[in-house]
Protein backbone atom coordinates (compact mmCIF):
# COMPACT_ATOMS: atom_id res chain seq x y z
CA UNK A 1 0.00 0.00 0.00
CA UNK A 2 1.42 3.38 -1.02
CA UNK A 3 1.78 6.30 1.37
CA UNK A 4 -1.02 8.17 -0.41
CA UNK A 5 -3.35 5.15 -0.26
CA UNK A 6 -2.62 4.74 3.44
CA UNK A 7 -3.45 8.42 3.97
CA UNK A 8 -6.66 8.02 1.95
CA UNK A 9 -7.99 5.22 4.15
CA UNK A 10 -6.81 6.91 7.34
CA UNK A 11 -8.77 10.05 6.40
CA UNK A 12 -11.93 8.00 5.88
CA UNK A 13 -11.48 6.14 9.17
CA UNK A 14 -10.76 9.22 11.29
CA UNK A 15 -12.82 11.92 9.60
CA UNK A 16 -15.42 12.25 12.35
CA UNK A 17 -12.67 13.04 14.88
CA UNK A 18 -11.37 15.86 12.67
CA UNK A 19 -14.36 18.17 13.09
CA UNK A 20 -17.14 18.84 15.61
CA UNK A 21 -19.57 21.13 13.74
CA UNK A 22 -20.34 21.24 10.07
CA UNK A 23 -22.39 23.24 7.59
CA UNK A 24 -22.79 21.81 4.11
CA UNK A 25 -24.58 23.01 1.00
CA UNK A 26 -24.56 20.66 -1.94
CA UNK A 27 -26.21 19.16 -4.95
CA UNK A 28 -27.11 15.77 -6.39
CA UNK A 29 -27.19 15.28 -10.15
CA UNK A 30 -28.57 12.10 -11.72
CA UNK A 31 -28.89 10.70 -15.22
CA UNK A 32 -32.09 8.70 -14.79
CA UNK A 33 -31.53 6.30 -17.70
CA UNK A 34 -28.00 5.35 -16.63
CA UNK A 35 -29.03 5.14 -12.96
CA UNK A 36 -31.68 2.60 -13.95
CA UNK A 37 -28.97 0.53 -15.62
CA UNK A 38 -26.99 0.59 -12.35
CA UNK A 39 -30.13 -0.43 -10.44
CA UNK A 40 -30.68 -3.34 -12.83
CA UNK A 41 -27.05 -4.41 -12.49
CA UNK A 42 -27.53 -4.59 -8.71
CA UNK A 43 -30.78 -6.54 -9.05
CA UNK A 44 -29.19 -9.02 -11.46
CA UNK A 45 -26.23 -9.53 -9.13
CA UNK A 46 -28.45 -10.08 -6.09
CA UNK A 47 -30.71 -12.48 -7.99
CA UNK A 48 -27.63 -14.46 -8.95
CA UNK A 49 -26.79 -14.63 -5.23
CA UNK A 50 -30.23 -16.04 -4.41
CA UNK A 51 -32.07 -12.86 -3.40
CA UNK A 52 -35.77 -12.89 -4.36
CA UNK A 53 -37.66 -9.79 -5.48
CA UNK A 54 -41.41 -9.19 -5.39
CA UNK A 55 -43.01 -7.43 -8.37
CA UNK A 56 -45.69 -5.01 -7.22
CA UNK A 57 -48.49 -3.86 -9.54
CA UNK A 58 -50.40 -0.65 -9.04
CA UNK A 59 -53.99 -1.34 -7.95
CA UNK A 60 -55.34 0.84 -10.77
CA UNK A 61 -53.41 -1.03 -13.47
CA UNK A 62 -54.96 -3.79 -15.56
CA UNK A 63 -52.34 -5.10 -17.93
CA UNK A 64 -53.79 -6.37 -21.19
CA UNK A 65 -57.32 -5.18 -20.43
CA UNK A 66 -57.22 -2.13 -22.69
CA UNK A 67 -56.07 -1.50 -26.22
CA UNK A 68 -52.72 0.31 -26.24
CA UNK A 69 -54.19 2.94 -28.55
CA UNK A 70 -56.73 3.84 -25.91
CA UNK A 71 -54.24 4.32 -23.08
CA UNK A 72 -53.05 7.88 -22.55
CA UNK A 73 -49.26 7.99 -22.50
CA UNK A 74 -47.67 9.31 -19.30
CA UNK A 75 -45.28 12.24 -19.66
CA UNK A 76 -41.71 11.09 -20.18
CA UNK A 77 -39.46 11.50 -17.13
CA UNK A 78 -36.59 13.93 -17.72
CA UNK A 79 -33.31 12.18 -18.45
CA UNK A 80 -31.37 14.42 -16.06
CA UNK A 81 -32.39 15.54 -12.58
CA UNK A 82 -30.69 17.86 -10.08
CA UNK A 83 -31.49 18.61 -6.45
CA UNK A 84 -29.90 20.93 -3.93
CA UNK A 85 -29.70 20.21 -0.20
CA UNK A 86 -28.28 21.53 3.07
CA UNK A 87 -27.05 19.89 6.26
CA UNK A 88 -26.13 21.39 9.66
CA UNK A 89 -24.33 19.12 12.15
CA UNK A 90 -23.28 19.48 15.79
CA UNK A 91 -22.57 16.72 18.35
CA UNK A 92 -26.07 17.23 19.78
CA UNK A 93 -28.24 18.19 16.81
CA UNK A 94 -28.67 17.98 13.09
CA UNK A 95 -30.81 19.86 10.62
CA UNK A 96 -31.36 18.86 7.01
CA UNK A 97 -33.27 20.34 4.09
CA UNK A 98 -33.66 18.21 0.99
CA UNK A 99 -36.08 17.38 -1.81
CA UNK A 100 -38.51 14.49 -1.72
CA UNK A 101 -40.57 14.23 -4.89
CA UNK A 102 -41.93 17.67 -5.69
CA UNK A 103 -41.56 19.02 -2.15
CA UNK A 104 -38.90 20.04 0.35
CA UNK A 105 -38.44 18.37 3.73
CA UNK A 106 -37.02 20.31 6.69
CA UNK A 107 -36.05 18.14 9.67
CA UNK A 108 -34.35 18.80 13.00
CA UNK A 109 -32.92 15.83 14.92
CA UNK A 110 -31.87 15.98 18.57
CA UNK A 111 -30.84 12.71 20.12
CA UNK A 112 -33.53 10.18 19.28
CA UNK A 113 -36.18 12.83 18.60
CA UNK A 114 -36.98 14.43 15.27
CA UNK A 115 -39.39 17.13 14.10
CA UNK A 116 -40.17 17.25 10.41
CA UNK A 117 -42.01 19.60 8.06
CA UNK A 118 -42.75 18.72 4.48
CA UNK A 119 -45.06 17.02 2.02
CA UNK A 120 -48.07 18.54 3.77
CA UNK A 121 -47.18 17.18 7.21
CA UNK A 122 -45.67 18.43 10.47
CA UNK A 123 -44.81 15.42 12.59
CA UNK A 124 -42.48 14.09 15.28
CA UNK A 125 -41.53 10.70 16.62
CA UNK A 126 -41.69 12.02 20.18
CA UNK A 127 -38.37 10.37 21.00
CA UNK A 128 -39.42 6.90 19.86
CA UNK A 129 -36.19 5.44 18.49
CA UNK A 130 -38.17 2.88 16.47
CA UNK A 131 -38.94 5.69 14.01
CA UNK A 132 -36.00 7.41 12.35
CA UNK A 133 -35.77 10.11 9.69
CA UNK A 134 -33.58 10.61 6.63
CA UNK A 135 -31.15 13.51 6.32
CA UNK A 136 -30.81 13.75 2.55
CA UNK A 137 -27.75 13.04 0.45
CA UNK A 138 -25.46 15.24 2.54
CA UNK A 139 -25.19 12.61 5.25
CA UNK A 140 -23.63 10.17 2.77
CA UNK A 141 -20.63 12.46 2.36
CA UNK A 142 -19.76 12.33 6.07
CA UNK A 143 -20.44 8.63 6.89
CA UNK A 144 -16.88 7.90 5.83
CA UNK A 145 -16.03 5.30 8.48
CA UNK A 146 -18.62 2.97 6.95
CA UNK A 147 -16.75 3.00 3.64
CA UNK A 148 -13.53 1.59 5.05
CA UNK A 149 -13.14 -2.02 3.95
CA UNK A 150 -15.66 -1.61 1.11
CA UNK A 151 -13.42 0.15 -1.41
CA UNK A 152 -10.60 -1.02 -3.63
CA UNK A 153 -8.34 1.77 -4.87
CA UNK A 154 -7.54 1.79 -8.60
CA UNK A 155 -5.93 5.22 -8.96
CA UNK A 156 -4.93 8.08 -6.62
CA UNK A 157 -3.87 11.69 -7.18
CA UNK A 158 -3.65 14.95 -5.28
CA UNK A 159 -6.22 17.57 -6.25
CA UNK A 160 -8.25 20.62 -5.27
CA UNK A 161 -12.01 21.14 -4.92
CA UNK A 162 -13.98 24.15 -3.68
CA UNK A 163 -10.72 25.67 -2.52
CA UNK A 164 -9.62 22.68 -0.44
CA UNK A 165 -6.78 20.19 -0.91
CA UNK A 166 -8.00 16.70 -1.78
CA UNK A 167 -6.99 13.15 -2.43
CA UNK A 168 -8.81 12.12 -5.60
CA UNK A 169 -9.43 8.39 -5.95
CA UNK A 170 -10.87 6.05 -8.53
CA UNK A 171 -12.31 3.13 -6.55
CA UNK A 172 -14.36 0.02 -7.10
CA UNK A 173 -16.83 -1.36 -4.57
CA UNK A 174 -16.06 -4.61 -2.80
CA UNK A 175 -19.15 -6.80 -2.43
CA UNK A 176 -20.17 -7.06 1.21
CA UNK A 177 -23.14 -8.95 2.66
CA UNK A 178 -22.57 -8.08 6.33
CA UNK A 179 -25.91 -6.66 7.60
CA UNK A 180 -24.10 -4.91 10.45
CA UNK A 181 -22.25 -2.69 7.98
CA UNK A 182 -25.35 -0.61 7.26
CA UNK A 183 -25.97 0.95 3.88
CA UNK A 184 -22.45 0.44 2.62
CA UNK A 185 -21.81 2.81 -0.24
CA UNK A 186 -25.38 2.62 -1.57
CA UNK A 187 -26.08 6.23 -0.59
CA UNK A 188 -23.24 7.41 -2.80
CA UNK A 189 -23.68 5.16 -5.82
CA UNK A 190 -27.34 3.99 -5.95
CA UNK A 191 -27.02 0.64 -7.72
CA UNK A 192 -23.91 -1.18 -8.91
CA UNK A 193 -21.48 1.38 -10.28
CA UNK A 194 -18.58 0.15 -12.39
CA UNK A 195 -16.44 2.50 -10.31
CA UNK A 196 -16.57 5.71 -8.26
CA UNK A 197 -14.46 8.85 -8.36
CA UNK A 198 -14.09 10.33 -4.87
CA UNK A 199 -12.56 13.62 -3.75
CA UNK A 200 -11.61 13.40 -0.08
CA UNK A 201 -10.81 16.53 1.94
CA UNK A 202 -7.18 16.11 2.88
CA UNK A 203 -7.55 17.90 6.23
CA UNK A 204 -10.99 16.80 7.45
CA UNK A 205 -11.57 13.50 5.64
CA UNK A 206 -15.12 14.18 4.41
CA UNK A 207 -16.13 13.28 0.86
CA UNK A 208 -16.32 16.55 -1.05
CA UNK A 209 -17.53 14.85 -4.22
CA UNK A 210 -18.58 11.37 -5.35
CA UNK A 211 -19.20 10.55 -9.02
CA UNK A 212 -20.64 7.15 -9.99
CA UNK A 213 -19.80 5.65 -13.40
CA UNK A 214 -21.38 2.92 -15.50
CA UNK A 215 -20.56 1.90 -19.09
CA UNK A 216 -18.13 4.76 -19.51
CA UNK A 217 -20.44 7.58 -18.36
CA UNK A 218 -21.24 9.36 -15.11
CA UNK A 219 -24.77 8.64 -13.87
CA UNK A 220 -24.74 10.26 -10.42
CA UNK A 221 -22.85 13.07 -8.70
CA UNK A 222 -23.22 13.94 -5.01
CA UNK A 223 -21.06 16.89 -4.04
CA UNK A 224 -20.57 19.73 -1.62
CA UNK A 225 -20.73 23.18 -3.17
CA UNK A 226 -19.95 24.86 0.17
CA UNK A 227 -18.58 23.57 3.46
CA UNK A 228 -17.75 25.24 6.78
CA UNK A 229 -16.02 23.32 9.55
CA UNK A 230 -16.42 24.05 13.28
CA UNK A 231 -18.64 27.03 12.54
CA UNK A 232 -20.67 28.68 15.31
CA UNK A 233 -24.38 28.45 14.57
CA UNK A 234 -26.93 31.07 15.58
CA UNK A 235 -29.46 30.21 18.30
CA UNK A 236 -32.25 29.70 15.78
CA UNK A 237 -30.26 27.45 13.43
CA UNK A 238 -32.01 24.41 14.89
CA UNK A 239 -35.34 26.04 15.73
CA UNK A 240 -38.29 24.47 13.95
CA UNK A 241 -42.03 25.08 14.26
CA UNK A 242 -44.95 23.19 12.73
CA UNK A 243 -46.49 24.62 9.58
CA UNK A 244 -48.73 27.64 10.16
CA UNK A 245 -52.14 26.62 11.47
CA UNK A 246 -51.04 23.13 12.50
CA UNK A 247 -49.53 21.33 15.49
CA UNK A 248 -46.99 18.54 15.67
CA UNK A 249 -48.60 15.18 14.99
CA UNK A 250 -47.12 11.85 16.07
CA UNK A 251 -45.68 9.26 13.72
Query: Tens of pLDDT along 134-159?
Result: 999 999 999 999 999 899 999 999 99
- Residue 68, pLDDT score: 39
Query: What pLDDT does residue 106 have?
Result: 97
Average per-residue pLDDT for the chain? 87
Domain boundary assignment for the chain: 3-49+80-250
- pTM, entire model: 0.85
In terms of residues, how long is the chain? 251
The stretch 65-76 carries a mean pLDDT of 43
Class (C level, CATH) for 3-49+80-250: mainly beta
Q: How does residue 48 score in pLDDT terms, banded at 50, 70 and 90?
A: confident
Amino acid sequence: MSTLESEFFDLLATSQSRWTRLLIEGRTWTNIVLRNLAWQAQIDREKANGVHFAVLQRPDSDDGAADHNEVEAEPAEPVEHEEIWSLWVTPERRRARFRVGDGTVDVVIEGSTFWSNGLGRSFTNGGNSDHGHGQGDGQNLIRTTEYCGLLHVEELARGMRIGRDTIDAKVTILEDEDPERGQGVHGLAIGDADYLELSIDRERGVVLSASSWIRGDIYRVVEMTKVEFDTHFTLDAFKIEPAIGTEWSSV
